[in-house]
Amino acid sequence: MAARLPEAEALIDSLAQALRGSVNSETGLVGIYSGGAWVAQRLHRALGLQLPVGQLAITLHRDDFDRIGLHREQRRSHLPFPVEGRDILLVDDVLHTGRTIRAALNELWDFGRPKSVRLVALVDRGGRELPIAADFTGAKVDVDAGESLVLSEENGRLRLTAVKASP
């Protein structure tokens, strides 16, 4: 069993504190589906940002398409502001191998060339397979290799749980 996991809501509060000095009225906040999008919505509210929050679906840039094919996917990227020349805060829930972030960056670039991208992760579980690091992290956590960290929403509250990864 992994050690006790931190409270997701408390991590979001501390992330919002950490980000406060690093955003302005032109900053674009973008969450990666699905957990990252939830976290981005919370941060957006907490920071009182003016631009609407964006969402990225990474299906079309995944690197395991050859193995898993194209599954039914209703989620779509939605960027309600021009990406070109903008400072972007990219938000994900669990930072692990870094492959999701690589795909998200490719997806983001299909909408334009941002001025900068900084990465915000609710939790970092280590295990990177790519040279990717977060600029803002809620907490570092230890999870057994055979487990997945899942962010879920219950009664309007976000919660982190560790579940046995499907083989």
Partner 1 sequence: MSRSLQLGPDGRLVHLLSTEGLPAETLRHILDTADQFVSVNEREVKKVPLLRGRSLFNVFFENSTRTRTTFEIAAKRLSADVVNLNIGASSTAKGESLLDTVWNLQAMDADMFVVRHKEAGAPHLVARHVKPGVHVINAGDGRHAHPTQGLLDVYTIRHYKKDFSRLVVAIVGDILHSRVARSQIHALKTLGVPEVRVIGPRTLLPADVERLGVRVFHDMAAGLRGCDVVMTLRLQSERMSGPLLPSAGEFNKAYGLTPEKLAQASPDAIVMHPGPMNRGVEIDSSVADGGQSVIMPQVTFGIAVRMAVMAILAGNA
Residue pair 116/88 in contact (Cβ under 8 Å)? The answer is yes
d(CA 83, CA 114): 5
Give the x/- contact pattern for partner 1 in 21-60, rule: CB under 8 A: ------------------------------------x-xx
Q: Considering the complex, state which of residue 48 and residue 82 has its C-beta at the smaller distance from partner 1.
A: 82
Q: Minimal distance in Å, beta carbon 69 to partner 1?
A: 3
Phi, psi of 17 (to 5 degrees): -60, -45
Residue 164 engages partner 1 in binding (rule: CB under 8 A): no
User: Residue 71 or residue 164: which is nearer to partner 1 going by CB?
Assistant: 71
- Phi first, then psi: give them for residue 92, nearest 5 degrees: -130, 160
Q: How far apart are CA 141 and CA 119, in angstroms?
A: 17
Taking the least distance from each CB to partner 1, the nearer of 31 and 138 is: 31
**Parallel, antiparallel, or unpaired: how do β-strands 147-154 and 157-164 relate?**
antiparallel
Site for partner 1 (CB under 8 A): how many residues? 20
CA 7 to chain centre: 17
Site for partner 1 in 54-83 (CB under 8 A): 57, 59-61, 65-66, 68-70, 72-74, 76-77
In whole angstroms, give the CA distance from residue 22 to residue 136: 10
- Interface mask toward partner 1 for 104-143; x: CB under 8 A: --x--xxxx-------------------------------
**Token pair for 70:** 């194209």
Residue numbers of the site for partner 1 (CB under 8 A)?
57, 59-61, 65-66, 68-70, 72-74, 76-77, 84, 106, 109-112
